[in-house]
Amino acid sequence: MSAELPCKLKASDYKSNTKPVWCPGCGDYHVLLSLTKAVAQIGLRPEEIAVISGIGCSSRIPAYLNCYGFHGVHGRALPLATGVKVARPDLTVICAGGDGDGFSIGGNHLLHACRRNIDITYVVMDNEVYGMTKGQPSPTTAPDWDSKIAPGGTGISPFYPLVIALASGANFVARAFSGDPNGTAKILVDAITHRGFSFVQILSPCVTFRPDQRGWKKQVHPAPVTPTSDASQAARRVMTDDGFNIGVLYKGSRKPYRQTVGTEIRFDRNLDEEFLV
Amino acid sequence: MSNTPESYSPSFSMAELLVHALVIELEAVESYKDLAIQMKQCGNDEVAGLFEKMSELEAGHAAKIRDIAGDIELPELAPWEYRWPGMESPETVDLAGIHYLMTPHHALKLALENETNAMAFFDAIANGCTDERVCSLALEFANDERQHVAWMEDWLANYPEPDAAWDDDPDPPAAID
């Protein structure tokens, strides 16, 4: 494949031979489809993409893609993705995972990834539940969600990922819905091609532990406004919407992180000698 | 009932009609193939077999449309540039209707719904277009889909609706008691 020729692969060419083991009907199948459509549309070669994930159902996604991938440890997808991007700035780095991985154990990393504004795209498949571990409430679960494992609900206010991302300095913020794979592909194209840290929350139903989410298709609707470059306006909009507005919310113009110090590694000491027993 | 609203009446050129018709079938091929894998993985071999069969049928339809298109250069559209009446192409299976214990009856009902959607899509184009050649081909596609609807109805007649407890699982993947 010549480096000069544009890449003309089909979306299906970006799928690996490993078949997903998600539950039948899981929204993550459509996220996989949207992601392959997006990278095919941009014309990225598989060897130009790295998909990094944490732990959870959705974090299996690198295995199902035909590109570089790393299935990391719980909540640590963003530090891994940051390392990959800093070491290989030529790669398009996409970080992926779920709401438990990204907003609970990985919550602190989200804040700092937004703040650092490294040129990566973070895709969170949000189903408001820990699916892999059998249905515990996650940070985005509604306080009154009644289940066997949390009778009467947790009573705890949910995490608002889009507002947190805006407040922390993310340069692109959007919400998508897995049941709209073509619309989601468009949002992902926008996110991947926008410079800096892009955050995309994809509402992706868990049909096993949250069968009520089968109804999301009827609840989502396009956001009635165009994207803004004013973070405070975007925050106000997202704090007052119904949680089902779909579209790009915010496009910032902050310069992405560029490594300017420490680019040369100096070995002033002879480590071999120091560690010699 | 289809997902094509009455107000849906796009104007297509011949090449646009052909590319939409082809993509409907190609996306259905992939969608049914994926569903067959999903069903096989949870041991529902009967429904997996049905989805595989449907994928093969749709591949046959795609080949037919390719033959009709012949040398006509089809436009290259981004996924979101297709003018579908809903979020996806009319014959793509709605994942919300999928269940690991679904029976052939449910699978065929989904397929019937998809064929009905495709028929309504082509009827809407045939009714709304101004180019006679486009109208005629859209009507031909609609009639093909009408035939598929009839086939699905015949097929479905062999699989009556299961009793209400069809999704009872003695060992469910539900949350810890």
pLDDT tens digit at each of 277 positions of chain A: 444 566 789 999 999 999 999 999 999 999 999 999 999 999 999 999 999 999 999 999 999 999 999 999 999 999 999 999 999 999 999 999 999 999 999 999 999 999 999 999 999 999 999 999 989 999 999 999 999 889 999 999 999 999 999 999 999 999 999 999 999 999 999 999 999 999 999 999 999 999 999 999 999 999 999 999 999 999 999 999 999 999 999 999 999 998 776 666 666 677 777 788 7
Element (H or E) spanning A51, and its range? Answer: strand A49-53
User: What is the rounded distance in angstroms from the CA atom of residue A158 to the CA atom of residue A150?
Assistant: 15
User: What is the rounded distance in angstroms from the CA atom of residue A183 to the CA atom of residue A246?
Assistant: 9
Q: Mind telling me how many Å the CA of A23 is from chain B's nearest CA? A: 7
Give the burial string for B128-142 (b: 16+ CB within 10 Å, else e): ebeeeebbebbbebb
Test mutation, A15, A29, A192, chain B, max B CBs within 10 A:
A29
Res A7: pLDDT: 77
Of the candidates B78, B97, B175, the beta carbon closest to that of A41 is on: B78
Q: Distance of CA A206 to CAs A99, B4, B86, Å?
A: 12, 27, 22
Q: Please indicate if any CB of chain B lies within 8 Å of the CB of A180.
A: yes
The CATH number of residue B75's host domain is 1.20.1260.10
Res A262: pLDDT: 63
Write down the H helix ranges in A43-157. 77-87, 99-100, 107-116
Q: How many CA atoms lie within 13 A of B9 on its CB side?
A: 6
Supply the DSSP symbol for B54: H
The neighbouring-strand residues paired with A70 are: A52
Res A256: pLDDT: 94
Residue-level pLDDT, tens digit, chain B, 177 residues: 566 677 777 889 999 999 999 999 999 999 999 999 999 999 999 999 999 999 999 999 999 999 999 999 999 999 999 999 999 999 999 888 899 999 999 999 999 999 999 999 999 999 988 899 999 999 999 999 999 999 999 999 999 999 999 999 888 776 544
Q: Are A127 and A98 in contact (CB under 8 A)?
A: yes
Residues of B in Cβ contact (< 8 Å) with A43: none
B7: in domain? no
* Interchain contact, A25 vs B96, CB within 8 Å: yes
Res A1: pLDDT: 42
Q: Please indicate if any CB of chain B lies within 8 Å of the CB of A137.
A: no
Supply the DSSP symbol for A15: B
Write down the H helix ranges in chain B. 14-41, 45-69, 104-128, 132-157
B140: in domain? yes
Residue numbers of the domain that contains B87: 14-167
Closest CA to A73 of A57, A56, A85: A56
* Interchain contact, B98 vs A25, CB within 8 Å: yes
Domains of chain A with bracketed CATH: 18-274 (3.40.50.970)
B6: in domain? no
The domain tally of chain B equals 1
Of the candidates B80, B96, B97, the beta carbon closest to that of A186 is on: B80
Supply the DSSP symbol for A248: E
SS3 A94: strand
Q: Distance of CA A223 to CAs A159, A206, A244, A250, B79, Å?
A: 20, 23, 8, 12, 20
- Close Cβ partners of B47 (under 8 Å, ≥ 6 residues apart): B39, B102, B103, B104, B106, B107
Location of structure tokens 């532990």: A209
Res B79: pLDDT: 96
Return the number of other C-beta atoms located less than 10 Å from residue A103's C-beta.
23
Q: Could you tell me which residues of chain B have a Cβ less than 8 Å from any Cβ in chain A?
A: 30, 34-35, 37-39, 41-42, 44, 78-80, 82, 84, 87-88, 94-100, 102, 173-177
The neighbouring-strand residues paired with B67 are: none
B137: in domain? yes
Predicted TM-score (pTM) of this structure:
0.92
B9: in domain? no
B103: in domain? yes
